[in-house]
Structure 1
């Protein structure tokens, strides 16, 4: 193996597309022994929460998450920024304030120049600075493929904690970022992504989900998560399953990166998209027989994707205003929760 200047050439996958397929992950977790959980553990493995939450007193709970992956872009500094943003955003998705981070670094030391590795870690540090936290330590190994990410610790008042199982009948579904990052990354690897598409991809994947903190203070926000490796459909199904409801998705309202839509129509997509559909496609009802490209967008793995919010209908305008004030200009209402199960796309 040698380094040709392209980080993505050193890995078999990239970004959140590296995630183990949902069906395989479910089988792995089923094999884990069940143990009595302490009452202080407010969120754990159940329903694929974004982070673990442990209450330490009536007004404070520790929030802990970790995320790491292989390069989604070739620029080492941007890779570091994307990986750090992705990890920190899980804390915001729980309605928590990040406190500090630990770095996770696995690099092919005899392949990558040290200055390249330094640029990766510098990119991660820059995002932590934007979030107002420091990288207080970490762990590193010599690995075959380059891997970078963070463990992030946060703090939340339990009464403001937003889980992914609290959606209610009639709730509006709001998405803060447009879909398509996975498809853009696939096009980048095939050298078919435009310069403008690359810039948009970087802008989306390095935008922290900070509004999650303000949204957590709203009683009418009933559930929240972020869209990552399992795609919009996968994470929306998590909200639906957690609440015992059906997610009714309005396809025409879903914000999508323009170039990603064109690429999807040109049969550019990720392998993770196909694996995602195989895992949960039986829970999705598609009306009007949409094209396969639409299916690829529904299941497209989003690295550092947007917030997915379930809120009372009367809060739509306030939630959208909070998101747009923080730079999420394409945030949109994309559906409703209704009685039933699964997901219906119309």
Structure 2
């Protein structure tokens, strides 16, 4: 099949031996079958879930020899992020591009890269000691569920979490080699709000990358430096946004910007939330659409001004006041008091653990 002189390993074991020295392995972390917790750090030696008391390992079958390895009900596949970021600076192809966002000039009035956006500039102004080192890494996180099997087979939801470094120029940062699969959450059902349980190893490393950094060798400048990293944003569809942010994107309070100020209502017979005629509130106060009684909701005019969105500090104060909840399928139906009426908070998102 291959030409003479090829160097393709002749077995899967041989190929693993070739890749092993790169140091880009996979950590398998046992998890509760009901998504309550990870058997990780201080809970590494537990034999059953501390919340739902479900056993960690499957019962052994008769006839198995002694010393047979226990098989857990569920495992999280975690691909460590730090070695992958360090590897970017050990390659001549990518090391010189990792400071592109800092060194290359930007065109005034054009958005060619996220570094031209206000979010990036605001972060630089807020944390100047981080911004002064152009080799510090800016990251984006994306998550979504998919069915890895045939679409006609039984439903199965597998959740990959992908991290992308945005230091690279625009023709590189969204290319496949630089989209790092960091977590793979297997489950026949979506983890829902319990996705935070599986994000713990990644958040732990992101805190390390922000607080202390890691010593990294830059092959382009032939020197070591202390590499730090920050998570700038998440990219997802609307349902996954609700799982990541902690604000449910279902029901009449589903908008994460309007929050409780939205004027949605339920249809009388369909009982579905409807957002018709919620937009007139954002027109200028003298806009003619505000006073039309026939073309929008019949007999209704809009006199309310646009509501004021919460600042980051105000939103942080609201989130800090949320009660601590337990995760897991056995706790999924438990809701914070006032859910669906005054708010749509499901949890305090794990991303609030990041210092920035």
TM-score (norm 2): 0.25
Query: Higher relative contact order by CA 8 Å / sep ≥ 6: 1 or 2?
Result: 1
Looking at CA atoms only, which structure, 1 or 2, has the larger radius of gyration? 2
Q: Which has the higher helix share?
A: 1
